[in-house]
Amino acid sequence: MRLGVLDVGSNTVHLLVVDAHPGARPLPAHSHKAELRLAQLLDERGAIAPAGVERLIATVDGALQAAEDKGCEEVLPFATSAVREATNADAVLARVKDETGVDLQVLTGEEEARLTFLAARRWFGWSAGKLLLLDIGGGSLEIAFGIDEEPDAAVSLPLGAGRLTSGWLPRDPADAADVRALRRHVRAQIARTVGEFARFGKPDHVVATSKTFKQLARIAGAPGSGEGLYVQRDLTRKSLEEWVPKLAVMTADQRAGLPGVSEGRAPQLLAGALVAEGAMDLFGIDDLEICPWALREGVILRRLDHLPEE
């Protein structure tokens, strides 16, 4: 069957269309993406402003049309931290449903972590042993650990690259004092969770998902997307520690000139790098592997798991 998964995230609204059936790898058929930056469209009360709601409705409507054009039998719509934490979330969800017919399911942070972990487990298989997963989104950082498809521990922290950039790094290039303050904040938040994971022992394999980690690995020398899906892409703490000071003195335009860094993501790459560095340091991670699958694939896999047998 042809499925669409509609991901309303903090940075983008992304429709991924796949051909899938139980027991088989979902095959991507189409990708429709629009930058919305919902996290930056909040007013002083933490509500999504009227202009942001209108843009969200128009973007969801466009994604629905794309899903119809591509022959999707079903669309799985969900929203993450930007909608989840908006003070007017209920009103926004009601308007989206009234005007587009889409009933956006708002995932909790823990659900995000668990579904992303499922995708990573299916990608790497049982031979990867105990997995530690890191995912940096626009609004939150997800961490999960386990040996099965359901993690033993899963947390979500408000340490997304977009959120931190707008809240802590207002200048371009970033002010050195702001960078130090953000570094302290990030590490204090992550340190609170380390003990929860330490009791499960050391992971056999550490993996990371998300655009932020992919871009950090790319600028540190990992193969580009043109090398294909199955080429191993790694990120070491040593290379990240070398890059963070360089990113801190660059403008967003200069970061956009780095390999694999898009213009839209360049402004928040420094904040993402500080989160990645803090997580790798505090969890004692020397290197990790980039996983091509993430939350959207996890949503698809969970749906396939619940399809009735033919």
Per-residue pLDDT at 308:
66
Q: Quick check: 120 and 133 in contact, CB under 8 A?
A: yes
Among 67, 123, 160, which Cα is nearest to 294's? 123
Residue 223 pLDDT greater than 70, yes or no:
yes
Q: Which two tokens stand for residue 121?
A: 């487990």
Residue 27 pLDDT greater than 80, yes or no:
yes
Q: Backbone phi, then psi, for 287, in 5-degree steps?
A: -155, 155
Quick: pLDDT tens for 142-197: 999 999 999 999 999 999 999 999 999 999 999 999 999 999 999 999 999 999 99
Per-residue pLDDT at 43:
83
Per-residue pLDDT at 297:
96
Quick: pLDDT tens for 82-103: 899 999 999 999 999 999 999 9
Question: pLDDT band at residue 112, thresholds of 50, 70 and 90?
Answer: very high
Distance separating alpha carbons of residues 214 and 223, to the nearest angstrom: 10
Residue 310 pLDDT greater than 60, yes or no:
no
Intervals of CATH 3.30.420.150 along the chain? 125-294
Per-residue pLDDT at 169:
97
Q: How far is CA 115 from CA 121, 184, 261, 288, in A?
A: 10, 29, 26, 19
CATH of domain 2-106: 3.30.420.40
Per-residue pLDDT at 242:
98
The angle formed by the CA atoms of residues 280, 294 and 217, to the nearest 5 degrees, is: 45
Burial of 264 (0-12, 13-18, 19+ CB in 10 A): middle
Question: pLDDT band at residue 309, thresholds of 50, 70 and 90?
Answer: low
Section 124-128 average pLDDT: 96
SS3 assignment, position 148: coil
Section 199-221 average pLDDT: 97
> What average pLDDT is seen over the chain?
95
Q: Quick check: 191 and 282 in contact, CB under 8 A?
A: yes
Intervals of CATH 3.30.420.40 along the chain? 2-106
- DSSP for 25-69, please give it: PPEEEEEEEEE--GGGSB-TTSPBPHHHHHHHHHHHHHHHHHHHH
Residue 110 pLDDT greater than 80, yes or no:
yes
Per-residue pLDDT at 42:
80
Section 234-244 average pLDDT: 98
Section 6-30 average pLDDT: 92
Q: Does domain 125-294 have CATH number 3.40.120.10?
A: no
Section 257-278 average pLDDT: 96
